[in-house]
Homo-oligomer: A and B are copies of this chain.
Amino acid sequence: MISFRSDYSQGAHPRVLEALVKTNPEHTDGYGMDAHCEHAAQMIKELIGDENCHVHMMVGGTPCNVTFIAAALRPYESVVSARSGHVYFHETGAVEATGHRVIALEGEDGKLTPDMIDKAFDEYQDEHTPLPRLAYVSQPTETGTIYSKAEMTALREKCDRRDMLLYVDGARLGSALTAKGNDLSLKELAALCDAFYIGGTKNGALLGETLIIRNDKLNDHFRWMIKRQCGLLAKGRLIGVQFEALFEGGEDCVYFQAARHANEMADILRNGLKELGVRFFGSSPTNQVFPILPAKVVKELEKDFFFYEWAKEPDGMTAIRLVTGWGTKEEEVLAFLSAVRGYLGRP
């Protein structure tokens, strides 16, 4: 079986694993207070060009989202998100578990727009309604689309006018940054938001993400919040070591290499399917590909390939999700294209 199920179906990138093996015997301080975490944080500060930001080694994406939101908002404040946003759609109400509403709004392509923020304020009136205070976006979105520099800048401006924070979920940030057509650099993204995280789990780490908080006030007692939200790892260096390995080498580091590779594999899939006349659900340029195929073909493909069915489409068609990762091989991609070609009866 060949797997396009997810970018977290394999373990760590070999170079990351090597670093874990190499540092394994070391004795370090616990809870992320070690030299590896310190070094990884320093590398990230340099990458984003902000010496004054705060970098936290986090155990996962939901912990990043929820801990930052719980720390940044006062109890009566709420989050604004596209209905397909991860905090609304895939975290079992973990934000609400900390007492905050997620105002979910219908949007196109999984994106939040300045108009949608205005719409949230239409619902908001006075002390009888929870004040919208944080705009949540993912780069890329759940369906693989990316915000342009202009779109993200417009969100920043709207947030400024509405006295809102802008938070970016970067679970697959590597894929967005290295995608064809992307015009928003890491430094620019960092400069536009109040906080964001760089996802490791879906781009070469065993687990772990780095949360970047861009001002002192939002960072106040943040480690207390991590502990309270059950996210402080005893062997915290486990994440620091991995991010050191991921970002060693600057622009040519494993992190960007892995993301570029995944995107390339996705592009081969996309282009090959296009050549076969296949249409797509959405317009992802990142490592998620959503071809729409006849349901019968999908059933056949499932015998040899792992992937998720994404949505039922009209006329007996099914949209499926194919995800590539650091470990996806070109031969696996070609095997998939070949199988589709066969099932569709193309020459």
Which residues of A approach B to under 8 Å, CB–CB?
A: 1, 3, 5-6, 8-12, 14, 17, 20-21, 23-31, 59-63, 66-67, 70-71, 74-76, 78, 83, 89-94, 96-102, 104, 123, 127-131, 201-202, 206-207, 220-221, 223-235, 238, 306, 327
| Nearest B residue to A127, CB-CB | B223
What is the CA–CA distance of A99 and B73 in the complex, to the nearest angstrom? 14
Q: Which residues of B contact A29 (CB under 8 A)?
A: 5, 9
Q: Which residues of B contact A27 (CB under 8 A)?
A: 1, 3, 5, 9-10, 306
What is the CA–CA distance of A47 and B231 in the complex, to the nearest angstrom? 29
Is the CB–CB distance between B97 and A228 below 8 Å? yes
Q: How far is the CB of A54 from chain B (nearest CB, A)?
A: 14
Q: Which residues of B contact A76 (CB under 8 A)?
A: 92-93, 221, 224-225, 227-228
What is the CA–CA distance of A306 and B29 in the complex, to the nearest angstrom? 10
- Take A100-B96, A230-B94, A238-B207 as given contacts and tell me if A30 and B6 are in contact as well, using a CB distance cutoff of 8 Å: yes
**Which residue, of A59, A75, A131, A207, has the highest number of chain B Cβ atoms within 10 A?**
A75
Q: How far is the CB of A108 from chain B (nearest CB, A)?
A: 17
What is the CA–CA distance of A82 and B204 in the complex, to the nearest angstrom? 42
Q: How far is the CB of A133 from chain B (nearest CB, A)?
A: 10
Is the CB–CB distance between B74 and A221 below 8 Å? yes
Is the CB–CB distance between A234 and B221 below 8 Å? no
Is the CB–CB distance between B92 and A60 below 8 Å? no
**Which residue, of A66, A98, A207, has the highest number of chain B Cβ atoms within 10 A?**
A207
Is the CB–CB distance between B231 and A123 below 8 Å? no
Q: How far is the CB of A17 from chain B (nearest CB, A)?
A: 6
Q: How far is the CB of A41 from chain B (nearest CB, A)?
A: 16
Of the A-B pairs whose beta carbons lie under 8 Å apart in the complex, a sample of 20, sorted by A's number, is: A8-B235, A9-B28, A11-B25, A17-B21, A62-B227, A67-B230, A74-B221, A76-B92, A76-B93, A76-B225, A89-B123, A91-B227, A92-B224, A94-B230, A101-B101, A101-B102, A130-B224, A131-B224, A201-B235, A230-B230
Is the CB–CB distance between A127 and B227 below 8 Å? yes
Is the CB–CB distance between B230 and A130 below 8 Å? no
- Take A60-B234, A66-B230, A227-B62 as given contacts and tell me if A97 and B94 are in contact as well, using a CB distance cutoff of 8 Å: no
